[in-house]
Amino acid sequence: MEKITDFFGSMVFDDRIMKATLSEKVYKSLKRTIVKGTPLDISVANAVAAAMKEWAVEKGATHYTHWFQPMTGVTAEKHDSFISPAPDGRVIMEFSGKELVKGEPDASSFPSGGLRATFEARGYTAWDPTSYAFIKDGTLYIPTAFCSYTGEALDKKVPLLRSMEAINKQALRILKLFGNTSVKSVKTSVGPEQEYFLVDRDMWKQRKDLIMTGRTLFGAMPPKGQEMDDHYFGSIKPRVAEYMADLDRELWKLGILAKTKHNEVAPAQHELAPIYDTTNIAADHNQLTMEVMQKVALRHGLVCLLHEKPFAGVNGSGKHNNWSISTDQGENLLSPGETPAENAQFLLFLAAVIKAVDDYQDLLRLSVATAGNDHRLGANEAPPAVISIFLGDELTAVLDAIENDTPYGGTTKEKMKLGVDVLPQFSKDTTDRNRTSPFAFTGNKFEFRMLGSSNSISCANIHLNAAVAEVLRQFADELESVSDFNSALHELIKRTIKEHKRIIFNGNGYDDAWIAEAEKRGLMNLKTTADAMPHICDKKNVDMLTSHGIFTEAEIFSRCDIMLENYVKTVNIEATTMVDMARKEIIPAVAKFAADTASAVSVKKSVSKAACKYETKLVTELSELIDEMDTATTELETAIAEFKDIDEIIKASEFVRDTMLPAMDKLRSAADKAETVTSATYWPFPAYDKLLFGV
């Protein structure tokens, strides 16, 4: 058997390969670019390109592509082959530094929310040397950022890199105040846990809703759902185990640190978690992971569903964004320390995150808002749409003691003086078994649990990094000018706790009582994408994001438009698919069953005196349900027609929320009732029991 260590990263142009294939001078210069961001000399680019090409061609690659993350949320690529004609009729394989560093995709059809129209007709892709190039399907993939010629970001990577720079800058100011001057850089890291469903491909093919929208738009609950809780961490079925093994192998070849895998709560639901990495690399790897998951599934006769809510009535899929900040010297700034100074520093960063999450609840909420994720948040299975922070009892008690100047703990009767006293030890393991919190402290990191399974992790991390950078800036501004650092620090932390403790909630987030309590505390409850998204354009958010250079004002407005367009288009496609399935498949099937039952009645009555009470009742019920479905379908058709005439995007999103989605619910409810009384042999496509238990 081949060992993992032998093939791990075999398709990646990583540091090992760079060292082995580049001259020492070129290698050093490239490393400077990777670590410090120094501009790359064209001669160095040429040398790197040549080495990359040699390596890739050796591994069977024929093409290269600039791989980028446009606003659609999926990745984009345009493949060019390496071939170049030689004068004697042969071809030679060529790849220049210029081609490595910069590409010009014909990008006019990527959503830009009007940015390209305003600024420049075309965009270009620029190599991100901090994320390794790799080979997939015979093509050399070069991770890139996508910008307009005037420098506006047209993708999700550029603002992500900017947000990492913002937090780096502000965190370094804070560290300096603690006498930490040898630290050169501070980076955020992320480990995204990815949930997904697997269904049988032949069954998938029979469902227009799964094909067109990635989720089931109809389907009554099977007799057995997830109520037995027997799937969670249950033993993995052989076919799924083979898929997972194959998937791990493919990911490892691409240098992705796939670490844990297990069954999830719902039947047919699973999870994969990688080992955490620097945020932009984690984002690239998560995009790649989602792609590979889907591709590998096909080889196993399966389809991998990444939709947030593929099935009504069973848990949906999310993505947990485990996030921390650490220095280039390996110190995790969210890890409680052992000395008074380390503790004070930890508490300051903790306070910064608490304030950031409270001040920018709306930005965090809207960073995960999509049509798909709206089905999860607040649906008693995922965190609610209200943002709050879970800290655990011990840490909360520490903060209480600081806020109220009261002694902490049973043993020391002293009040705690920050920067002087050692923090009491709190055990890591008790920090988090609360799975209902949207934003939980888990010992040395925060877990942001609101992301949808298909979301790019970029948006959430852009807003999180930005919000924390902003608060660190405010803290640094305040502390840099004081004479007595320790007492100023103490006062700042105390004040921050007092002002922002409303965001801390350690109880059950699924409880309705919490939603009422949250409202009393003045926390935001942005239930849908239509409610959340426009807040990105609020002055406080625009001011903050632009002041850190993360977005320009134009970029923010264009992003709001793009995300809302995505929302309304998604729902419109779903509505249209529902009408199609109702008219062409469901209503005819139920009508056929009713007609066959009715003719059976007349046959039976012609040969016997039977009253046929059951059949008669059934035919009546079916006929009523057919009428109900027809009426609901007509209403939905009317909504779709009305929607076409709405030009203004905010109005369109409100129409989708207030009219289209309720009309879809009505049709679904009629059809699901019909399904429960229609013979399975008449039902036009595989039902939930087959889909959920068919693998």
Q: Which is nearer to ligand ADP, 69 or 279 (CB)?
A: 279
Q: How many angstroms separate the Cα of 182 from the Cα of each of 91, 150, 179, 327? A: 52, 36, 9, 10
* Beta bridge partner(s), residue 140: 64, 135
Q: Does 276 bind ligand ADP (CB under 6 A)?
A: yes
CB 155 within 8 A of CB 458: no
Residue type, 175: L
Q: Is 597 in the site for ligand ADP (CB under 6 A)?
A: no
Q: Which is nearer to Mg ion, 433 or 520 (CB)?
A: 433
332 binds ligand ADP (CB under 6 A): yes
Q: Of 324, 343, 370, 396, which lies in the binding site for ligand ADP, with binding defined by CB under 6 A?
A: 324
- Residue with smaller CB distance to ligand ADP, 21 or 335: 335
Which positions from 360 to 389 touch ligand ADP by CB under 6 A, shown as an x/- string?
A: ------------------------------
Shortest distance (Å) from residue 435 CB to ligand ADP: 9
Nearer to ligand ADP, 332 or 434 (CB): 332
C-beta separation of 148 from 115 below 8 A = yes
Does residue 445 interact with Mg ion by CB under 5 A?
A: no
394 near 426, Cβ under 8 Å? yes
Does 486 contact ligand ADP by CB under 6 A? no
**Tokens in use for 241?**
């185990």
Which of these ranges, 169-177, 197-205, 273-281, 366-374, lies near ligand ADP under the rule CB under 6 A? 273-281
Q: Residue 275's binding partner, choosing from ligand ADP, Mg ion, none, with beta-carbon cut-off 5 to 8 A by kind?
A: ligand ADP
Rounded to the nearest whole angstrom, what is the least distance from the CB of residue 221 to ligand ADP in the complex?
Answer: 27
Number of H helices, E strands in the chain: 25, 17
Q: Which residues contact 139 (CB under 8 A, 6 or more apart)?
A: 61, 62, 63, 64, 65, 77, 79
- Pick the closer one to Mg ion by CB: 372 or 443: 443
Rank residues 112 and 324 by Cβ distance to ligand ADP and give the closer one. Answer: 324
Residue 173, CB-side half-sphere exposure with 13 Å CA sphere: 18
With a CB cutoff of 8 Å and minimum separation 6, the contacts of 308 are 316, 317, 318, 370, 372, 373, 375, 376, 452, 453, 454
Residue 274 binds which entry of Mg ion, ligand ADP, none, CB below 5-8 Å type-dependent: ligand ADP
DSSP string over 645-676 = T---HHHHHHHIIIIIHHHHHHHHHHHHHHHH
Task: Tell me: does residue 130 bind ligand ADP (CB under 6 A).
Answer: no
Residue 34, class by beta-carbon neighbours within 10 Å (0-12 exposed, 13-18 middle, 19+ buried)?
A: middle
**CB nearest ligand ADP: which residue?**
191
Could you give the CA distance from residue 131 to residue 34 in angstroms, rounded to a whole number?
Answer: 9
Question: Distance of alpha carbon 144 from its chain centroid, rounded?
Answer: 20
Contacts of 193 (CB under 8 A, 6+ apart): 271, 272, 273, 319, 320, 322
Nearest CA to 113 among 137, 75, 139, 148? Answer: 148
Q: Is 274 in the site for ligand ADP (CB under 6 A)?
A: yes
Toward Mg ion, which CB reaches closer, 419 or 509?
509
Nearer to ligand ADP, 204 or 446 (CB): 446
* Nearer CB in complex with Mg ion: 287/322: 322
313 Cβ contact list (under 8 Å, min separation 6): 221, 225, 688
Which is nearer to ligand ADP, 322 or 552 (by Cβ)? 322
Q: Which two tokens stand for residue 72?
A: 């659609």
Contact 624, 500 (CB under 8 A): no
The H-or-E segment that residue 321 falls in is strand 318-327
Q: Whose structure tokens read 């009508």? A: 591
How many CB atoms sit inside 10 A of residue 515's CB?
16
Q: How far is the CB of 318 from Mg ion (least distance, A)?
A: 10
The residue among 319 and 463 lying less far from ligand ADP, judged by its C-beta, is 319
Residue 261 in contact with Mg ion, rule: CB under 5 A? no
Which range, of 6-14, 210-218, 270-278, 524-532, touches ligand ADP by CB under 6 A? 270-278
Out of 253, 285, 445, 548, the only residue in the binding site for ligand ADP (CB under 6 A) is: 445
Q: How many Å from the N-terminal Cα to the C-terminal Cα in the chain?
A: 28
Q: What is the 3-state secondary structure (H, E, C) of 218-281?
A: CCCCCCCCCCCCCCCCCCCCHHHHHHHHHHHHHHHHCCCCEEEEEECCCCCEEEEEECCEEHHH
Number of chain positions touching ligand ADP (CB under 6 A) = 14
Please identify, using beta-carbon distances, which residue of 213 and 287 lies nearer to ligand ADP. 287
Interface characters, 165-204, with ligand ADP (x: CB under 6 A): ------------------------xxx-x-----------
Site for Mg ion in 303-332 (CB under 5 A): 320
Judged by CB under 6 A, does residue 35 bind ligand ADP?
no
Under rule CB under 6 A, residue 321 binds ligand ADP: no
The 393-432 site mask, x for binding ligand ADP (CB under 6 A), equals: ----------------------------------------
CB of 231 to ligand ADP, least distance (A): 16
Span near ligand ADP by CB under 6 A; candidates 284-292, 319-327, 361-369, 609-617: 319-327
Distance of closest approach, residue 340 Cβ to Mg ion, in angstroms: 31
DSSP H or E segment with residue 323? strand 318-327
How many residues at the interface with Mg ion, by CB under 5 A? Answer: 1
Applying CB under 6 A, among 180, 444, 486, 525 the residue interacting with ligand ADP is 444
- 318's contact among Mg ion, ligand ADP, none, with CB below 5 to 8 A by partner kind, is none
Give dist(CA 55, CA 48) in Å, integer.
11
Q: Minimum distance between the CB of residue 464 and Mg ion, rounded to whole angstroms?
A: 16
Nearest CA-CA partner of 377 in 481, 525, 231: 525
The first and second tokens of residue 175, run together, are 């560290």
Nearer to ligand ADP, 148 or 431 (CB): 431
Which of ligand ADP, Mg ion, none sits in contact with 276, Cβ below 5 to 8 A by type? ligand ADP
> Which residue has the CB atom at the shortest distance from Mg ion?
320
Given 69, 226, 269, 322, the residue binding ligand ADP (CB under 6 A): 322
In whole angstroms, what is the distance from residue 346 CA to residue 167 CA? 16
- Rounded least distance, CB 681 to ligand ADP, Å: 43
**276: number of Cβ within 10 Å:** 18
* CA-to-CA dists, residue 333 to 288, 444, 633, angstroms: 29, 8, 55
**What minimum distance in Å lies between the beta carbon of 189 and ligand ADP?**
4
Residues at the interface with Mg ion (CB under 5 A): 320
- Which positions touch ligand ADP (CB under 6 A)? 189-191, 193, 273-276, 322-324, 332, 444-445
